[in-house]
């Protein structure tokens, strides 16, 4: 796929920004998983209409950690931690394993 910017200069993309900017496959996969989990956690928070103050109690966290969660600082959040937050919020995560597209 070729994208062309306003200046007429283009670049070739694989369709996946994490791969395009040079992350190794393992790091890209981890970031994609973190993103999906984070998005799920935020959806649970929104659905339950929880405020940051509510989250301090539900997740037993201090305000700075709540802020990191809500602002998406994925570098500070582990997959394990995101799964725990999801659990505490009453959610579950499913994993689908499939072969890579040829």
| pLDDT of 35 above 70 | yes
User: What confidence tier does 12 reach under pLDDT thresholds 50, 70, 90?
Assistant: low
| pLDDT of 68 above 80 | yes
User: Taking all residues of the chain, what is their mean pLDDT, rounded to a whole number?
Assistant: 86
- DSSP H or E stretch at residue 3: strand 2-4
| pTM of structure | 0.77
| pLDDT of 74 above 60 | yes
Contact indicator for 79, 41 with CB cutoff of 8 Å: no
- Cα gap 65→68, rounded to integer Å: 5
- Report the pLDDT value the prediction gives residue 17, as an integer from 0 to 100: 67
- Report the pLDDT value the prediction gives residue 21, as an integer from 0 to 100: 76
CA dihedral 8, 12, 18, 21 (to 10 degrees): -70
- Report the pLDDT value the prediction gives residue 10, as an integer from 0 to 100: 64
| pLDDT of 5 above 60 | no
- Cα gap 4→61, rounded to integer Å: 44
For the chain, domains (ranges, CATH) are: 23-102 (1.10.260.40)
């Amino acid at each position: 796929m070729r994208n062309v910017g306003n200046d007429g200069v283009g670049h070739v993309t694989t369709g996946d920004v994490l791969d395009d900017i040079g992350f190794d496959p393992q790091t890209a996969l981890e970031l994609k998983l973190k993103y999906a989990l984070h998005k799920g956690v935020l959806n649970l928070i929104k659905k339950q209409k929880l405020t940051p103050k509510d989250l301090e109690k539900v997740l037993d966290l201090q305000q700075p950690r709540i802020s990191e969660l809500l602002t998406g600082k994925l570098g500070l959040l582990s997959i394990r931690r995101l799964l725990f937050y999801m659990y505490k919020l009453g959610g579950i995560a499913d994993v689908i394993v499939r072969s890579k597209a040829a």
